[in-house]
């Protein structure tokens, strides 16, 4: 019975993350289960658990790698773009993105629609024809003369599904092979990693701005994959903003918070100039929490050096 209760609590905390289920199930054997259940089902508080670098669980090892988070922080260094400010696009809270306020109009690609077209409407109002893709829906919640929707998704390079297409295939289908200064928005629940692994750098260079949500950032099983993708993005684009989605877990390491879901905005390196030191404190006043009933996750002075000797903390938002 207690095992089933622990599993239910873990499901509330971390969904289907089996590794974290095992780790936290083991930890709850020595923590007050009653308090965990109350916080999971009643109180919107945070459950903070101290996590050593190496925890032995059921004959398996869960490793929190300081080397990974140090390199992740280096690859997510934010630069300030000279001559342009940041602005919020899309709706309040979840579905809105911070981007560079440089929208001359043209072509935008939007992957992952669900029931929210607020970002797409914003781009349409700024003079963009928006090519929208989501194979999980049967239609858009509303129409617009500048919307061009298809029941297709972005290929992750692995899944065999005729509804999934590469970005190169879609660009060719739309006759955009020679287009430049396009905009890319992507929220595809983890398929972004396979997409970036397979997309050609010259295709990415057709986009002057990229804004997206990155998933699974604190999953140690994907650490090398994540780092390699970020290195690839950094070859052509520069990170200009970072926002923590407060609807998930996060690791506090070296005085920095690394979240399972982050929103990242990039601009094309060869198009813009960047200032030197940028002592940015996150979130910005134009940021908004994704889950409006919970506080923001403070990233603080993000570009400042990490304290790699600091203790790591695993944190979970609990409903």
Sole residue written with tokens 């972005």: 154
Q: Which residues contact 146 (CB under 8 A, 6 or more apart)?
A: 123, 124, 128, 129, 130
Tell which of 57, 77, 100 closes a domain.
57
The CA distance from 64 to 69, in Å, is: 9
The CA distance from 207 to 197, in Å, is: 17
pLDDT at 314: 60
Helix axes 66-75, 223-236, angle to 10 degrees: 20
Q: Is residue 166 part of a domain?
A: yes
One domain, residues 136 and 157:
yes
One domain, residues 24 and 96:
no
CA 301 vs CA 176, 181, 277: distances in Å: 39, 31, 12
pLDDT at 149: 98
One domain, residues 111 and 40:
no
Tell which of 32, 57, 82 closes a domain.
57
One domain, residues 12 and 113:
no
The CA distance from 156 to 49, in Å, is: 34
Q: Could you tell me the CATH number of the domain that includes residue 305?
A: 3.40.50
H/E stretch holding 243: strand 237-244
Domains held by the chain: number? 2
H/E stretch holding 11: helix 2-14
Provide the residue-wise pLDDT of the chain in tens; the chain has 319 residues.
434 434 444 444 444 444 444 444 443 333 333 333 323 322 222 333 333 333 332 333 334 577 899 999 999 999 999 999 999 999 999 999 999 999 999 999 999 999 999 999 999 999 999 999 999 999 999 999 999 999 999 998 888 899 999 999 999 999 999 999 999 999 999 999 999 999 999 999 999 999 999 999 988 889 999 999 999 999 999 999 999 999 888 888 888 999 999 999 999 999 999 998 899 999 999 999 999 999 999 999 999 999 876 666 666 554 3
One domain, residues 47 and 85:
no
pLDDT at 315: 60
One domain, residues 26 and 132:
no
What are phi and psi for residue 39, nearest 5 degrees?
-65, -30
H/E stretch holding 305: none
pLDDT at 264: 98
One domain, residues 36 and 91:
no
Q: Is residue 49 part of a domain?
A: yes
One domain, residues 171 and 283:
yes
H/E stretch holding 24: helix 18-27
One domain, residues 122 and 24:
no
Q: Is residue 62 part of a domain?
A: no
pLDDT at 193: 96
- Tokens standing for 295? 């506080």
The CA distance from 223 to 220, in Å, is: 5
Residue 230: domain span: 67-314
Q: Is residue 319 part of a domain?
A: no
One domain, residues 107 and 249:
yes
- Tokens standing for 259? 């979240």
Q: Is residue 32 part of a domain?
A: yes
């Amino acid at each position: 019975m207690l095992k089933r209760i622990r599993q239910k609590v873990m499901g509330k905390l971390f969904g289907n993350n089996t590794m974290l289920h095992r780790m936290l199930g083991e930890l709850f054997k020595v923590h007050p289960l009653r308090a965990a259940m109350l916080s999971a089902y009643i109180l919107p508080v945070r459950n903070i658990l101290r996590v050593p670098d190496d925890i032995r669980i059921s004959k398996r090892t869960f490793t929190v790698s300081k080397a990974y988070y140090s390199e992740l922080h280096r690859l997510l260094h934010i630069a300030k773009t000279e001559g342009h400010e940041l602005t919020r696009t899309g709706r309040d809270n979840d579905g809105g993105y911070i981007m560079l306020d440089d929208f001359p109009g043209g072509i935008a690609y939007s992957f992952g629609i669900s029931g929210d077209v607020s970002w797409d409407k914003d781009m349409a109002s700024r003079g963009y024809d928006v090519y929208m893709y989501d194979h999980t829906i049967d239609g858009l919640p509303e129409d617009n003369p500048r919307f061009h929707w298809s029941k297709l998704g972005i290929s992750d390079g692995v899944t065999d599904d005729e509804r999934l297409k590469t970005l190169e295939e879609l660009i060719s289908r739309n006759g955009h092979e020679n287009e430049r200064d396009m905009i890319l928005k992507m929220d595809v629940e983890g398929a972004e990693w396979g997409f970036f692994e397979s997309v050609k750098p010259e295709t990415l260079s057709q986009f002057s701005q990229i804004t997206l949500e990155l998933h699974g950032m604190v999953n140690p099983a994907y650490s090398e994959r994540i780092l390699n993708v970020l290195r690839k993005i950094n070859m052509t684009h520069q990170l200009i903003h970072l926002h923590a989605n407060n609807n998930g877990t996060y690791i506090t390491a070296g005085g920095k918070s690394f979240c399972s879901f982050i929103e990242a905005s990039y601009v094309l390196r060869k198009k813009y100039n960047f200032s030197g030191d940028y002592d940015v404190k996150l979130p910005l006043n134009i940021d908004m929490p994704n889950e409006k009933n919970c506080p923001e996750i403070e990233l603080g002075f993000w570009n400042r050096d990490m304290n790699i000797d600091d203790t790591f903390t695993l944190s979970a938002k609990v409903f």
